Amino acid sequence: MSATFITLPANRQSVGPPPGLAALPVDLSHSPLLGILGVLLGAGIVTITGRLLSLGLADLKGNVGIGFDDGAWIGSAFNVALMFIGPFTVYLGGLLGPRRVLLASATVFTVICWFLPLVHSYSLLIVLLAIAGLASGTFYPLTLTFALRNIPLRYLALVVALYATCIEAAVNFAPSIFGFCRNHVSWEWMFWIPALATPVMMTCIYFGVAESPKPQSKKQPPSFVGFFYLSCGFALLYAALDQGQRLDWWRSGVFTGLLAGGMFLLLGSLVRHLRSPNFLVDLPYLREWNTILLAGALFTFRFVLLATILIIPQSLSVRGLDAEQLAPAVVWTAVFELVLAFVGALLLYKGIDSRLLMAIGFAAIALACLINADFTSAWSAENYFRSELLMAVGQSFAMMGLVCSLLLQAAFSGGLDAPQRILTFSAFFHTVRLLGGETGVALIGRFIAEREKLHSYLLGLQVQSGEWITESTVRHLAAGLASKSGGLAVATERALGIIDSKLRLQAYSLTFIDAFHLVAWACVAMLLVTALLRKAPLSFAQLPSLQQGSTSMQESRP
């Protein structure tokens, strides 16, 4: 590619454009805003569907009439399907175009969501949820590919802000939405809400995303056998992580089989690629320093998000609060994020380094977690209000800085010079995103279970039978309960139960304090990773003018 000299802003010299910049898009479809809105709505829909499914699991199990063990596979059926279809989707979208794939998948997803509340057969429910996961799993992976290949640079920071809003708002608004539906309408709306939103997404994609021409390559059609091995391998690993805590990890043959099968299929996929490379895959391109560090950052960021997705809701649900009662603890984070995401976009347009924005975000999350570490068993949703703004700043800025760094890395590492590079880049980070989220859930779930056992044991050492404080407490409680119990023995048993529940609640309180500290330390580690990232050649503020200059020079050529 011949060098093209362009005019930079006044404070910079005229130099050749960095690698890959010539491939950046100049214009979008005839309706750019609709195209952007469509793909971002897709990412938000799949996020809120998974969250609502998790929140409404008890109602869904009651509707079908199943117990804990069978019900544990309901969420897995949906999420494992998401994991399976991810790598496939990126390359399928590269061959057929995002528009065809998204419209077909969205149609299937909408129909299934309408009928899921009417299903009373466990087997049919699992099958339909798996199909819904396969269909909606196409929404998110194509977002990054579409952004890199189609969105003009003057819109890019704004699109990242919208993306952060869709993803984070979906996660933090979900408890409020489900609580309202369950208590004031019906639990079935956890499926019908995505079913109503998806046609809006389809309309935006139909009018806003240009139809890609069918491939005219003279090469042999790509083999999807390797992709099948890869997708199956990651899906089995995901299932192993998802069920690990329930199955007691290595003590379970099911967990061991899932993990071993997943590792074997991943190894088989790698061997097949080395022996017969697929022209759609460019693994050496992923060996960039920033690419590796950003993958670690995305993996950790998914863990950090569990502060609002899992730790805060669980800290209130152990006291018996339902979704509507605990929702205010995270809903204000979502409200603040609606504004702060665009503040982050403005900072990017002003020239702030995306690495600095990411560092500010992780630092704010760490501070918010340290504030929340003052947690006690008496806390309600209102006690989390003082950290809401900090958490919103942290999540919005960290996500925007991370995504912007990913986009800059793809642009300036030559990712847009060849289609297989951007496809590989998108598939890789989509896989990291899903595995990072599930690994984080498995890790924090194991952490909470083990720390609760430890704190219960340590607290139990202070409450020993025969000690005068313990005996006095039991006698006083039994005396107070005697009038409403069937005798002194029953009253004493009830008193022991109250003491046990109080000890368990205090053990959980200490556990959640430990969990907040763990997330804070993860944020500190991410600050170190951010410091190791190499600076991009240009900032977001300079990219549009650089692209306009490049376009003018290209148009002036004979």
- pLDDT (tens digit, 9 = 90+) per residue, 378-432? 888 888 988 988 999 999 999 889 988 888 888 788 776 777 787 788 888 888 9
- Predicted confidence band of residue 324 (pLDDT cuts 50, 70, 90): confident
Which of these, 42, 191, 186, lies nearest to 115 by C-alpha position?
191
Q: What is the mean pLDDT of residues 142-160?
A: 69
Query: In sequence order, what are the residues at sequence separation of 6 or more whose Cβ sits closer than 8 angstroms to the Cβ of residue 42?
Result: 102, 106, 139, 140, 142, 143, 201, 205
- The single-letter DSSP state of residue 188 is T
Mean pLDDT of the chain: 81
Would the CA dihedral through 106, 111, 116, 119 be positive or negative?
A: negative
Which of these, 184, 181, 183, 201, lies nearest to 192 by C-alpha position?
181
- pLDDT greater than 50 at residue 551: no
Q: Domain 285-446+518-542 belongs to what architecture?
A: Up-down Bundle (1.20)
- Distance separating alpha carbons of residues 551 and 436, to the nearest angstrom: 39
Q: What is the pLDDT of residue 78?
A: 92
Q: What is the pTM of this model?
A: 0.85
- CB count, 10 Å around CB of 91? 23
Q: What is the pLDDT of residue 443?
A: 93
- pLDDT greater than 70 at residue 198: yes
The more confident residue out of 511 and 173 is 511
- The single-letter DSSP state of residue 278 is -
Contact 91, 280 (CB under 8 A): yes
Q: What is the mean pLDDT of residues 156-178?
A: 80
Residues 475-496 pLDDT 10s? 666 666 666 666 666 677 767 6
Q: What is the pLDDT of residue 125?
A: 92
Fold (CATH) for 30-213: Growth Hormone; Chain: A; (1.20.1250)
Q: Which residue's structure tokens are 């409020």?
A: 176
- Distance separating alpha carbons of residues 494 and 481, to the nearest angstrom: 8
- Distance separating alpha carbons of residues 558 and 552, to the nearest angstrom: 12
| Six token digits for residue 102 | 């998204």
Residues 87-119 pLDDT 10s? 777 777 767 777 888 888 999 999 999 999 888
Min mean pLDDT across 184-193, 209-218, 303-312, 438-447 is at 209-218
Q: What is the mean pLDDT of residues 135-143?
A: 80
